[in-house]
Amino acid sequence: MGALAAMMRKDLRLELRSGRSTIALVALSLLIMVVLVFALGASATRRVDSAAGALWVALIFSGMLGATRALNSESENGCIRGLLLSPLDPAAIFVAKLGASFIFMAIAEAAAVLLAILFFNLDVGAGIARLAGVMLLGALGFAALATLLAAISERTRAGDLMLPLLAVPMFVPALIAGVKASSLTLSGAPPGAISQWIRILAAFDVLFVTAGYLLFEHVVGEDQD
């Protein structure tokens, strides 16, 4: 759909010009990894599941940041009203914002994975490619969840607190599955063991992308009651 493509192009352009560059993103991932390494202790760096856990913590933080930023681009000059007034389907706004958050998270996660390889002495190989796949699945689900909830928390008092309060409990199943899948991938487990976790991640993604798509129109409007 032409309007959706225009939305995504516009969001991409705005993101590139926002002045808050990729460097800040990478820095955030670095800091999270550093904190976790020191918090978990040096012996943790020898364990693959610590690496997996650290990566997913980084994913959650960058996800919350990404979703709120994606939505904030509409708050200046009342641009969101321009979108709501137009013939654009509100669900298309969801898709565009989801896409923007997802790209943001993917970049942050790429940085985190590189740092994890370094800090946790991970084997670079086919496992990393599969790990990237798992992380992307997780990023998609969290981006969908966070985009939907950020539209709510944006309009709520203590919104910065509200988003993690709502998002984290709902993300638990994907977090469990994602960390397990990541950890198993990194330790070279056979695909059979990993597939059940992947299935959970996939189900989560389908649920939240669909739910977000259908429900976004109810959370994005102004005073509609």
Partner 1 sequence: MNRTATNSLGAASLLLMLAALFMIFLYVPSEAEQGIVQRIFYFHAPLAWVAFMAFGLVAISGIFYLWLGDSIWDDLGYAAAESGMVFCTLMLVSGSMWAKPIWGAWWTWDSRLTTTFVLWLMYGGYLMLRAMADDTPQVARFGAVVGIVAALDVPIVIVSVRLWRTIHPAVLVMRNGGHGLEDPRMLATLGVSMLAFTALFAWLLLLRFSELRARTRLAGLAQRLAMAQAAANDMPPGAARGIAEGAS
Partner 2 sequence: MAAPVIETHGLSKIYGNAPMIREPVLREIDFRLLPGHGAFVIGGNGAGKSTLISILAGLCAPSAGVALVFGQDTRSLAARYRKRIGMMTHQSMLYPNLSARENLEFYAALYALPDPAAAAAGWLERVGLEAVADVRVRAFSRGMEQRLAAARAMIAEPALLLLDEPFAALDAESAAMVAGLIRAAVMRGATAMLTAHAAAEIEGVSFDLFELSSGRLLPAKEETFKEETRRGRLRSLLGR
Nearest approach, Cβ of residue 68 and partner 1 (Å)? 16
Cβ distance 126 to 189 under 8 Å? no
**Is residue 215 part of the contact set for partner 2 (CB under 8 A)?**
no
**Is residue 76 part of the contact set for partner 2 (CB under 8 A)?**
yes
Nearest approach, Cβ of residue 215 and partner 2 (Å)? 17
Query: Which of partner 1, partner 2, none does 14 bind, CB closer than 5 to 8 A by kind?
Result: partner 2
**Is residue 6 part of the contact set for partner 2 (CB under 8 A)?**
yes
Region 165-194 residues binding partner 2, contact defined as CB under 8 A: none
Contact residues for partner 1, defined by CB under 8 A: 145, 148-149, 152, 155-158, 162, 165-166, 168-170, 172-174, 176-177, 180, 196-197, 200, 203-204, 207-208, 211, 215, 218-219, 221, 223-225
Query: Which of partner 1, partner 2, none does 168 bind, CB closer than 5 to 8 A by kind?
Result: partner 1
Query: Which of partner 1, partner 2, none does 215 bind, CB closer than 5 to 8 A by kind?
Result: partner 1
**Is residue 199 part of the contact set for partner 2 (CB under 8 A)?**
no
In 107-145, which positions are buried (b, 16+ CB within 10 angstroms) versus exposed (e)? Answer: bbbbbbbbbbbebbebeeeebbebbeebbbbbbbbbbbb
Q: Is 223 exposed, middle or buried (0-12, 13-18, 19+ CB in 10 A)?
A: exposed
Amino acid occupying residue 90? P
Complex with partner 2: residue 164 or 221, whichever CB lies closer: 221
Judged by CB under 8 A, the stretch of 53-61, 80-88, 101-109, 161-169 that binds partner 2 is 80-88
CA distances from 34 to 63, 141, 151 (A): 18, 25, 31
